[in-house]
Amino acid sequence: MKVKFTSIAVMMLLLAGILVSGCASVYEEKGYSQSADLVAEDYDDSYARNTAMGEAEYADSGGASTASVDRKTITTVDMTIQVSDAAEGVDSISKMAVASGGYVSSSSIRDSYYDSHEGKEGYITVRVPESEYSSFLENVGELGEVTRESVSAQDVTEEYIDVSARLDNLERQEARLQEILNMTETVEDVLAVEKELERVRGEIESLTGRLNYLDDRIEFSTINIRVTEPRPITRSWGIRDAISESVNGFISMVNALIILVGYLLPLVIVLIFFGGAGLLIRRRLRRH
């Protein structure tokens, strides 16, 4: 009897162990699938939350831009200056730009012709710090006579705030996606998160490049300068102008005569024809 009782007890323990292990495996499978779903839901919630935070920050920044946010402007200057020597003027402007903490973007010198006079004409584009461009223009004005000057300022405050807010939002998304990537266990989840990470990083690089471009355009003013030489003053006492007007008048008169002949020629031909016919008829009548 004791032997039978012992064997029955062992069998019951084995059955209980099998049941427990089966339940545990089912629980683990359910728990693992639930954890994967939670990761996906966590990512979706995080993405939506970060997007909402970015939009809220942009709205707050946009509202404050009219009051406390520094205006972001891109300054461009176009001017023409007359100097005695265009080549020396371009060289002096180049040195002034470097001394102001800027640099030369482009420059050129070419021949300039006015009547029979041959001279030089230069073009130079410089970038100088925004804080230095006023004093730089004053120094350039001392080289000669400024004949034209225009200044334009493009306000990019709204775009700058928008790009900055979107960049901050994407950087938060990147950090959260990195956390989610460390939590994932299956290859499918890892690939999905890495694909999203690649997209977010691509947008971060694009916005970072745009922000760097705006910073450069804001911090450095663009100044386009045309450098000319004075035109010679010639005195002809009016003789050359008189001769020129006489030649033009003669040419105009010849043109008028040609046009008149063109109009009268058909009429003359008709008169000659009828006149000749009349003479022939008259001669025949006299013979008879």
Whether 263 is covered by a domain: the verdict is no
Whether 140 is covered by a domain: the verdict is yes
Q: Given a cut of 70, is residue 121 above it in pLDDT?
A: yes
Confidence at residue 240, expressed as pLDDT on a 0 to 100 scale? 64
Burial of 274 (0-12, 13-18, 19+ CB in 10 A): exposed
Query: What does the alpha-carbon distance between residue 264 and residue 34 come to, in Å, rounded to a whole number?
Result: 107
Model confidence over 142-173: pLDDT tens digits?
999 999 999 999 999 999 999 999 999 999 99
Confidence at residue 157, expressed as pLDDT on a 0 to 100 scale? 94
Confidence class for position 112, pLDDT limits 50, 70, 90: confident
Confidence class for position 38, pLDDT limits 50, 70, 90: very low
Confidence at residue 249, expressed as pLDDT on a 0 to 100 scale? 81
Whether 174 is covered by a domain: the verdict is yes
- Residues with Cβ within 8 Å of residue 266, at least 6 apart in sequence: none
Query: What does the alpha-carbon distance between residue 126 and residue 225 come to, in Å, rounded to a whole number?
Result: 8
Whether 201 is covered by a domain: the verdict is yes
Whether 16 is covered by a domain: the verdict is no
In angstroms, the Cα distances linking 247 to 223, 244, 288 are: 47, 5, 60
Model confidence over 13-33: pLDDT tens digits?
334 443 433 433 333 333 333
Least confident of 33-42, 128-137, 252-261, 264-273: 33-42
Whether 5 is covered by a domain: the verdict is no
Confidence at residue 41, expressed as pLDDT on a 0 to 100 scale? 47
Whether 31 is covered by a domain: the verdict is no
Domain count, the chain: 1
Confidence class for position 99, pLDDT limits 50, 70, 90: very high
Amino acid at 80: T
Confidence class for position 277, pLDDT limits 50, 70, 90: confident
* Average pLDDT of the segment spanning 85-90: 92
Least confident of 207-216, 236-245, 249-258: 236-245
- Residues with Cβ within 8 Å of residue 201, at least 6 apart in sequence: 174
Confidence at residue 115, expressed as pLDDT on a 0 to 100 scale? 57
Confidence at residue 56, expressed as pLDDT on a 0 to 100 scale? 47
Confidence at residue 288, expressed as pLDDT on a 0 to 100 scale? 64
Q: Given a cut of 90, is residue 76 above it in pLDDT?
A: yes
Whether 131 is covered by a domain: the verdict is yes
Per the model's pLDDT, the better-predicted residue between 228 and 58 turns out to be: 228
Domain interval for residue 169 = 40-229
Amino acid at 276: G
* 3-state SS, residue 142: coil
Model confidence over 233-250: pLDDT tens digits?
555 556 666 777 777 887
Cβ atoms within 10 Å of 256's Cβ, excluding its own = 10
Per the model's pLDDT, the better-predicted residue between 267 and 114 turns out to be: 267
Question: Which structure tokens are listed for 169?
Answer: 């939002």
Query: What does the alpha-carbon distance between residue 223 and residue 45 come to, in Å, rounded to a whole number?
Result: 49
Mean pLDDT of the chain: 76
Burial of 105 (0-12, 13-18, 19+ CB in 10 A): middle
